[in-house]
Amino acid sequence: MEQNINKLKLLLSEALPGEDAQYMMAPLQRSKQSVHELPESEYRKSAVIILICSDANGHLYIPLTERFAYDGVHSGQVSLPGGKFEESDLDHATTALRECFEEIGIERDAIEILGELTPLYIPVSKYLVRPIVGYCKTPNPDLLKNPREVKHIGKLYLNELTNENIVRTGNITLRDKQKIQAPYFAVQDLKVWGATAMILSEFKTLLKTIS
């Protein structure tokens, strides 16, 4: 396991799969938009964390958070722990670590930052997301959901993520009851789609290069 974590850390320091890998899981009607074309005044800064954890049997997984239904564009969606950048944050990794603790209760001291994936712009909320990749050094950590923010914590095992059988395409019901066609990862009874699926798609591409 340690050897693979070190390989992943090295890969994250090199050229990334980038937007091509992200857009393999983009909603079918989404046009490709490079973040490099966006002026800073057009977006809000945010960060999420792909946190690699181990369960009681040593199997590696990524915690996912299911949101409560609320009056917002991301109502009820499945996401990675994360949130908006605060002025007091030193950098995007600080944002991701802070939000990780707030949402699922894992202390920042328990996390080793491995690197960062390609930024992704979310048009409906105007967030530019920096995906941070981390490794939880505490085996089988207690995941404590924030009762105000998180309805459910799911686990996406790495061997599931690299299995093409969990990739589906179908109708996704939006907050306004409209339906769109989008690819998604079927994780237990969760549909992981949109920005979260696009971020995980790039991560999946990296994972598949590690033998």
95 closest CA partner among 148, 68, 63, 134: 134
Residue 33 near residue 121 (C-beta atoms within 8 A): yes
Range of the domain at 136: 2-207
Cα separation, 146 vs 103, in Å, equals 5
Residues of the chain with pLDDT under 50: 74
Per-residue model confidence as pLDDT tens digits over 20-71: 999 999 998 887 877 777 767 678 999 999 999 999 999 999 999 998 865 5
pTM for the whole structure? 0.94
Give the tokens for residue 180. 């769109």
Q: Are strands 127-136 and 82-84 parallel, antiparallel or unpaired?
A: unpaired
**Distance (Å, rounded) from C-alpha 120 to C-alpha 34?**
8
pLDDT value at residue 99: 98
Question: What CATH number is associated with residue 71?
Answer: 3.90.79.10
Q: How far apart are CA 101 and CA 82, in angstroms?
A: 9
pLDDT at 211: 63
Amino acid at 100: C
d(CA 53, CA 211): 19
Count of C-beta atoms within a 10 Å radius of residue 186: 15
Contact 141, 106 (CB under 8 A): yes
β-pair partners for 191: 186
Helix, coil or strand: residue 195: helix
Percentage of residues of the chain with pLDDT beyond 70: 93
Q: How many distinct structural domains can be found in the chain?
A: 1
Q: Using CA atoms, how far apart are residues 154 and 207, in angstroms rounded to an integer?
A: 20
